[in-house]
Structure 1
Amino acid sequence: MFQPNMFESHHHLLDMSGARSSESEVLKMRDFEDFETKSGTETMEPDPSGDDAQDPNNDDSSNNNGQRQKRKRYHRHTQHQIQELEAFFKDCPHPDDKQRKELSRELGLEPLQVKFWFQNKRTQMKAQHERHDNAILKAENEKLRAENTRYREALSTATCPNCGGPAALGEMSFDEQHLRIENARLKDEIDRISAIASKYVGKPLASNYPHLPPHLSSRSPDQFTPQSGFVGEMYGGIDLIRSVSMPSEADKPLIVELAVAAMEELIRMAQGGEPLWIPADSGQPSEILNEDEYFRIFPRGIGPKPLGFKSEASRESAVVIMNHINLVEILMDVNQWSGVFCGIVSRAMTIEVLSTGVAGNYNGALQVMTAEFQVPSPLVPSRESYFVRYCKQHGDGTWAVVDVSLDNIRGNSILRSRRRPSGCLIQELPNGYSKVTWVEHVEVDDRAVHSIYRPLVNCGLAFGAKRWVATLDRQCERLASSMANNIPSGDLLITSPEGRRSMLKLAERMVLSFCSGVGASTAHAWTTLSAAGSDNNVRVMTRKSMDDPGRPPGIVLSAATSFWLPVPPKRVFDFLRDENSRNEWDILSNGGQVQEMAHIANGRDPGNSVSLLRVNNANSSQSNMLILQESCTDSVGAYVIYAPVDIIAMNVVLNGGDPDYVALLPSGFAILPDGPEFGEGGGGILEIGSGGSLLTVAFQILVDTVPSAKLSLGSVATVNNLIKCTVERIKASVSCDNP
């Protein structure tokens, strides 16, 4: 229990002890001052025999009784001797006999003189230290006295929160006590993170920072005016992802403070209701952010919206089959994160880890990152982001991971998008499940988006929270499937759990390779070719492979194009994944029948699967090849991705061998809705945004086995004709199938 008199008792003891020792302290200090004035230049030398030595130069040394007069003799040192002794004292305050003799020989002194000089010097230093310590104790005493007075005054003026009268000790409510404890915990958290940042800058940070500092949030909008650029090209010839340097030492404390403020905002955005989030009209996302209310609650944030930018804000929740600890690990590991969300994250990189977290987990982890977000189409510009990611545990089983852009700190003059606090809240559920609430809040200049993709981008399905959650849900099911040990009885080729996992791992690498080259990324290992020799609607890129065991050596061409189909996405997906209809669009099969040799279910939806196909046609160019295919679908989009694989290499995989050495050149399709209203529509679909599909077709073909060979325009024309013919076949087939 708090006792107001404990400070007074403490001071009384200090005062009494100080009074008792004051007289002896004064006498002692006088002796120390005498030593201090003499020890620098004089040495008092007693007679070695026990009596004081007689000075032969003293005329008063003789007396009538013939006795030697006892008196002390002082020897004054020269300036040179003092300097040498002082220098030696700094390195060795306690010289031994050998060192004293050597000093006496060098300085022309007696060893006993040297010994007494060091004794006097040590006494002088001790006196100085004691005076310094006494001064510190006196200041602390005064501080405690003032603190005691302040507490007594505060207690005398305290009032009851209920009646307004004088408050007695012990009347604090449970809620108030809880709030005080929570405030102390939050203060400790900010102090701990500030201490992490202070390692880099050498000074502590203020622990009461509520929002971003004013000099970062008050920049004028014209500082963020975007520059124009062609879709799919680098901004000004610079790869923004790889050109970002590590944050400066002065920026690191600002980054820490920004992350703490962003975490607070994310929690309120994830848990808030009306009027912050208001129900949307039919045909729109389920909720719309009330921007007026948002800026009222968060008036500062990362600054005003840049000129020419539009806001995209969305929130989505789902229950996924993965425990919360594994989800946090995926989000905080850049390789796992970009792999799980490969259809959204085309590239990602950790620039610097400011904190790895505490207690063996990611609680308090802080890292500066860059990433590029994409839609699987060359017609939608990718969005680069330079941001800090902060992970925090909020109670047992509840975690939050937040991202917020650092472009203002970096001073990016070619900014096209920036992330306000975005991320997810993860809540532990029984049986290994988790509830994920995702908030995605960005500001972007999307004027370069192609017209057929504009309804999809405007409704928030292209980059919004629903796409992140749907992808995460599907990938969690895929991971659970890959860890299963039960072997389907119908798959005669897959005879072991190891073979099943190897086949799924090979399919995963195939999907990653496809997604990394299908979007309008600014820079990859691919080189975008000029329009010569290719159709204006087809993007053609080239890449040289030499030492990568996962790719065949030589020159590879990649061609991709996107177009609209007046057919619901599910019907397009079912048509493309069905092996029985493959000969209608696959030119390389030469009309042969395709047989499914193996099948692995990959989720609840029957369309989520990995298959091994074989073309039964002696005239087919793939007669000695198998086709590995993965099809996947969720509420926002779908993929059908395939790659020819060598029979011998595939046998190794089916027996549990390493799939990383199987060369793959993936091709396939990305299927997205053309707007917010999609599904099995009714009769005539006439315009974009009324329930049709946006289909992206992408091929990768080896055109020369010699990496140093020159690419011919004929190869480009061949690939261009191949993709155009495939598009025409798909349009003809689904149009006939459409009622």
Structure 2
Amino acid sequence: MLGLVYVNEPLWVKSSVDEGWLIHRESYDRTFSNSNRPYKSSTARIESSRSFGVVPMTAIDLIKNFRDPIKWMNMFPTIVTKARIVDVLDSGNTEVSIQLMYEKLHILSPLVEARDFVFIRCCKQLDQTTWIMVDVSYDLFKEIKTCAPSYAWKFPSGCVIQDTGDGKSMVAWIEHVQIDEKCQVNHIFRDLLCGRQTYGAERWIVTLQRMSERYNFAMPVTCATTDDSQGEGVKNVMNLSQRMVKSFCETLSMTDKLDFSTSSHLNNEDRVSIRKNEEITQPKGFIATAATSLWVPLSFETIFNLLKDNNTRCQWDVLSGGNNVTERDRVLTGTCSKNYITFIQPMPIENNMLVLQESSIDKMGAFLIYGPIDSTTYTSFLNGGDGEKVVILPSGIIISPDGRLASGMNSNGNAQNGSILTVAFQKLICANNSISQDQHMEAMVYIQSLLSSTVSKIKATLGCSD
């Protein structure tokens, strides 16, 4: 791992597509000969990447987050769906830990399957300011691969973290995996979203930077309350929104839990799932989820700026009921003024309802994730009440660059950038313990119709109806 971090040629070569670094296969195999490799397959492909970045968190704090599977998921809510420790192999030394772990990584589209890894994670202190985290796959797939949607193998991957002494760290990240998909996927969206853009080292670094900033940022409320518990209220808002974002991203891993996936009611790229929920943080009962992804000939920054504008929200958001909205409160989550949590109030006020929304953008993409919340609950936890059990069912929009330098040609014959727009809705359809097959089908048709209508409205708002 250390031999890969700071060496360029011959182990690394420049990509002809995006100028990023790729591992040179023959040089790697000669330098690191090892018979413990995954099986060879004509359908398997290898992905490799390397990235560097300054992260606003100390090395020891980063390592503590990486050792804890819950904190690991919270640091990477848009990448890691599940994580747990299978076994602790060595925890007697504070300077080194070895854990056998499982994780599921997801892509922000319902059209591409998740990736499952079982791996050994070693975290070790190299000197007073430097730590290393190395992940390498462990062959438990003989026991679990029949239930895994993909066969994914980690070559030594991870990061080297050097504390810079000012509350920040310099992080060098390497991703090196072999992927062999075992089920039918949408190869167009997979090719546009997978690899360096979505699972590459730069995505991990940028997400780590963003989430570290989110945790450390001194968040002012633009419409501040006068209550002394404002600080606790802001903390509650941050925690609730973080939970909402993570919950929403988890719903997008839909390839292994589809209902009526071949129904004539569905468009080719739409996915519908109906599940029974027992969690206290979401409405109890049967929840319908519908999601889709589509290509849009606009940059992700342009789409994000148009959709986050409250003045045009009524043109596409079904939660607003076609009415104008006004902003009640805002909590900044970083130095970029476009990254914030906001409470939106549809006008006129109906059913005592507000909308909690988190908007976020970085160089790898953007999202708007939102959910309804009643104003009484809002007032309670904003003034310091317990927000841990607040019920919220998120929907939202993920905007990802399509991973190509040019995605098509415009009317003038010039290269045109594009984005993958993923839209997902969730709705409680029945609070009972069971539903009939007819109710099931009616709910599927309804939620898909809601999705289709919203996508059409979004495309019209963006000027991309054709």
Cα drift, residue 529 of structure 1: 4.1
Cα drift, residue 708 of structure 1: 2.7
> Which fold has the larger relative contact order, with Cα–Cα distance below 8 Å and residues 6 or more apart in sequence?
2
C-alpha contact 2:111 2:255 (8 A) present in aligned 1: no
- The answer to whether the aligner puts 1:491 opposite 2:219 as a matched pair is no
1:697 is aligned to 423
Structure-2 change in CA distance of 1:601 and 1:678 (3 Å): farther
2:37 is aligned to 303
Distance 1:593 1:669 in 2: 19
Distance 2:387 2:413 in 1: 45
Letter in 1 for 2:456: E
2:283 is aligned to 552
Cα drift, residue 522 of structure 1: 3.5
Instruction: Give the alignment of 1:622-633 within 5 angstroms.
Output: 622-633=350-361
Q: Radius of gyration: which is bigger?
A: 1
C-alpha contact 1:315 1:465 (8 A) present in aligned 2: yes
Distance 2:403 2:412 in 1: 13
- The answer to whether the aligner puts 1:291 opposite 2:291 as a matched pair is no
Instruction: Give the alignment of 1:87-106 within 5 angstroms.
Output: none
C-alpha contact 1:529 1:542 (8 A) present in aligned 2: no
- The answer to whether the aligner puts 1:464 opposite 2:192 as a matched pair is no
Structure-2 change in CA distance of 1:272 and 1:661 (3 Å): same
1:346 is aligned to 81
Cα drift, residue 588 of structure 1: 3.2
2:130 is aligned to 398
- SS of match in other structure, 1:528: coil
Distance 2:29 2:295 in 1: 38
Letter in 2 for 1:506: L
Structure-2 change in CA distance of 1:494 and 1:280 (3 Å): farther
Instruction: Give the alignment of 1:7-22 within 5 angstroms.
Output: none
C-alpha contact 1:569 1:678 (8 A) present in aligned 2: no
Cα drift, residue 446 of structure 1: 4.7
Distance 2:406 2:433 in 1: 45
Distance 2:194 2:330 in 1: 38
Distance 2:427 2:190 in 1: 30
C-alpha contact 1:625 1:646 (8 A) present in aligned 2: yes
C-alpha contact 1:493 1:598 (8 A) present in aligned 2: no
- The answer to whether the aligner puts 1:383 opposite 2:111 as a matched pair is no
Letter in 1 for 2:405: E
Q: Deviations over 1:608-645 (max 9, x none)?
A: 11001100125xxx542000000111111211100000
Structure-2 change in CA distance of 1:489 and 1:560 (3 Å): closer
Percent of aligned pairs with the same amino acid: 34
Cα drift, residue 301 of structure 1: 5.5
C-alpha contact 2:344 2:357 (8 A) present in aligned 1: yes
C-alpha contact 1:566 1:685 (8 A) present in aligned 2: no
C-alpha contact 1:323 1:434 (8 A) present in aligned 2: yes
Instruction: Give the alignment of 1:29-178 within 5 angstroms.
Output: none
- SS of match in other structure, 2:96: coil
1:368 is aligned to 100
1:441 is aligned to 176
1:592 is aligned to 323
Cα drift, residue 737 of structure 1: 10
Letter in 2 for 1:322: M
Letter in 2 for 1:428: D
- SS of match in other structure, 1:401: strand
Cα drift, residue 449 of structure 1: 4.2
Count of aligned pairs = 457
Cα drift, residue 320 of structure 1: 0.8
- SS of match in other structure, 1:638: strand
Cα drift, residue 304 of structure 1: 5.9
**Equivalent of 1:507, from 241, 260, 267?**
241
Letter in 2 for 1:597: R
1:275 is aligned to 10
**Equivalent of 1:661, from 377, 389, 393?**
389
- SS of match in other structure, 2:8: coil
C-alpha contact 1:348 1:371 (8 A) present in aligned 2: yes
Distance 1:737 1:727 in 2: 10
C-alpha contact 2:49 2:201 (8 A) present in aligned 1: yes
Structure-2 change in CA distance of 1:428 and 1:593 (3 Å): same
- SS of match in other structure, 1:499: helix
Cα drift, residue 593 of structure 1: 0.8
- SS of match in other structure, 2:37: coil
2:57 is aligned to 322
C-alpha contact 1:612 1:626 (8 A) present in aligned 2: yes
Name the structure where strand makes up a greater proportion of residues. Answer: 2
C-alpha contact 1:499 1:656 (8 A) present in aligned 2: yes
Structure-2 change in CA distance of 1:268 and 1:409 (3 Å): farther
Cα drift, residue 564 of structure 1: 0.7
Cα drift, residue 285 of structure 1: 4.6
Cα drift, residue 398 of structure 1: 0.5
Cα drift, residue 648 of structure 1: 1.0
Distance 2:86 2:198 in 1: 27
Q: Deviations over 1:684-703 (max 9, x none)?
A: 5989x952010111111011
Cα drift, residue 456 of structure 1: 3.0
- SS of match in other structure, 2:240: helix
Instruction: Give the alignment of 1:576-615 within 5 angstroms.
Output: 576-615=307-346
Distance 1:493 1:714 in 2: 47
2:212 is aligned to 476
Instruction: Give the alignment of 1:242-281 within 5 angstroms.
Output: 266-281=1-16
Distance 1:672 1:452 in 2: 14
TM-score, scaled to structure 2: 0.91
Cα drift, residue 492 of structure 1: 4.1
C-alpha contact 2:45 2:178 (8 A) present in aligned 1: yes
- The answer to whether the aligner puts 1:517 opposite 2:251 as a matched pair is yes
Cα drift, residue 736 of structure 1: 5.9
- SS of match in other structure, 1:730: helix
Letter in 2 for 1:550: T
C-alpha contact 1:572 1:734 (8 A) present in aligned 2: yes
Q: Flag structure 2 segments of 5+ consecutive residues without an equivalent.
A: none
- SS of match in other structure, 2:109: coil
Structure-2 change in CA distance of 1:690 and 1:295 (3 Å): farther
Distance 1:301 1:440 in 2: 20
C-alpha contact 1:641 1:668 (8 A) present in aligned 2: yes
Distance 2:141 2:280 in 1: 41
